[in-house]
Amino acid sequence: MAGEQEFLQQHFRKFYSEHKVNEPPEPASREFGIGSFGQKISRRHLAFKSLHDFNSFLRQEVPFFVSYSSALYKFPERRPMPAKEMLAADLVYEFDADDLPTACKQQHDSWKCPKCGRQGKGRQLMCDECGTQAILEEWFCPQCLGEARKKVFNLLEFLQDDFGFSEGIAINFSGRAGYHVHVRNKEVRSLSPSARIELIDYLTANSLSIFSHFRKEGELFAITKKSERSGWGRRIMSSITELLEEGDASKIAVFGSITTSQAKRLLSEKEMLLKSINERGVLPAFFGRASPSKESQSDKFWQSFIQSVIERISPIDRQTSIDVSKIVRVPETIHGETGLVAKTVSIDELKGFDPLVGAVGFGPNQTVKVFIIKAPRFHLAGESFGPFENQEAELPLNAAIFLLGRASARLAGS
Ligand SMILES: [Zn+2]
Ligand SMILES: [Zn+2]
């Protein structure tokens, strides 16, 4: 792939000579890392005195991926890590559509078993024939990106409403299938490691004993009245109300671990339930009351229902890293696998932002002949391409780079 690598690098060099990267803030205190074709990080522990030096480096070296530390250091180039002397650390949350269970994956993703050769559509981690870990071919589409964006808005709501963080929040597209949210205010920067864990616990409702919001009075679950609800309690209750109003029996059945006919019976009393919840502040014991020796089916139903609701509305998952020594994509740089730019977007811009249009780093003017190994139908800069399999095509530069970067195509004739 030497020819392809050179081709991409030539265009990336042009990009960096025409666009100055004005990120990250406080560059002199950051550790940087770079990656090469097919390898996200190949060198770390780089440091630059200024954005000027950083940009000269980008024009000269033309890395395929550029990352920086969320931490600020006294000596960012030193190693091992403790020698850097950490001064503070931003919080960074990464949202990637690859991790979200979107229905469109059935269309654009595929898997193949390296052992028995079985293959299929969708995101399947394990071969269903021999149990070997499958090789995934992952793509992303406007629907995936929309779901990742919803996660960002959900997190922003938590940060603003529950923590009062409204300053120092920066959002950027990751350059591929997701978004990064950076929190850089003073309160956050000085958080201790244990406070960082507490924050994750709160955002995943892990530290929250679910029923601290739902006092048990007699045989019913009593909840706070609508006007007095806040934080998780408010969110859980409005989500329960929404689900009941929506009235999808099979969804209710899954959420509450009950049968569909039980869910239908429950929904036939929807008005009564909503009135109890919102006016009287009570989760009704619809499936019977507890005896002193045994938990009632109502208890089990509401516990399962509330747990499912929490998973649905939690803005991050438990695996979210609190590792302050990790490095993340520098906003405004190119993602070498897609040719898309890790665009910074304001909260207002994000509402209408489509990275497959707004983050395209290269023009459509030039066309390139490529041989495409395999690609599902994809969208870029307002146009659709493919699907392709073992065929030659003449594509606009941006679409050619989009396929060459991930080695799904090669230059025709090479
Ligand atoms: Zn297999
Ligand atoms: Zn998708």
Q: What pLDDT is stored for residue 10 in this prediction? A: 97
Peptide bond into 315 cis (omega under 30): no
Catalytic residue of the set 128, 201, 248, 317? 317
Whether the Cβ atoms of residue 411 and residue 370 lie closer than 8 Å to each other: yes
Ligand nearest to the CA of residue 131, numbered in listed order: 1
Q: How far is the CA of 118 from the centre of ligand 1 (A)?
A: 5
Ligand nearest to the CA of residue 128, numbered in listed order: 1
In sequence order, the 6+-apart residues with CB closer than 8 A to the CB of 155 are 93, 95, 181, 203, 315, 316
Q: What pLDDT is stored for residue 215 in this prediction? A: 58
Opening angle at CA 347, ends 21 and 105, nearest 5: 90
Residues with Cβ–ion distance below 5 A, ligand 1 = 113, 115-116, 118, 127, 129-130, 132
Ligand nearest to the CA of residue 101, numbered in listed order: 2
In tens digits, the chain (414 residues) has pLDDT values of: 689 999 999 999 999 999 999 999 999 999 999 999 989 999 999 999 999 999 999 999 999 999 999 999 999 999 999 999 999 999 999 999 988 889 999 999 999 999 999 999 999 999 999 999 999 999 999 999 999 999 999 999 999 988 888 889 999 999 999 999 999 988 888 888 888 888 888 888 876 665 555 656 554 666 666 666 678 888 888 899 999 999 999 999 999 999 999 999 999 999 999 998 888 878 888 887 766 666 778 888 988 898 898 888 888 876 677 788 899 999 999 999 999 999 999 999 999 999 999 999 999 889 999 999 999 999 999 999 999 999 999 999 999 999 999 999 999 976
Q: Which amino acid is at 62?
A: V
Q: How far is the CA of 119 from the centre of ligand 1 (A)?
A: 8
- Name the pTM for this structure: 0.88
C-alpha to C-alpha distance for 12 and 384, rounded to whole angstroms: 23
Question: Nearest to residue 210, comparing CAs of 284, 293, 283, 319?
Answer: 283
Q: How far is the CA of 105 from the centre of ligand 2 (A)?
A: 5
Structure tokens at 395: 């594509």
Q: What is the DSSP string of 172-187?
A: EE-SSSEEEEEE--HH
Catalytic residue of the set 53, 96, 248, 323? 96
Q: What pLDDT is stored for residue 340 in this prediction? A: 98
Structure tokens at 25: 């803030």
Annotated catalytic residue 201: no
Q: What pLDDT is stored for residue 82 in this prediction? A: 95
Annotated catalytic residue 98: no
Whether the Cβ atoms of residue 176 and residue 337 lie closer than 8 Å to each other: yes
- R_g of the chain, CA atoms, integer Å: 25
C-alpha to C-alpha distance for 394 and 206, rounded to whole angstroms: 52
Phi (first) and psi of residue 411, to 5 degrees: -65, 135
Q: What pLDDT is stored for residue 213 in this prediction? A: 56
Structure tokens at 10: 């030539």
Q: What pLDDT is stored for residue 221 in this prediction? A: 67
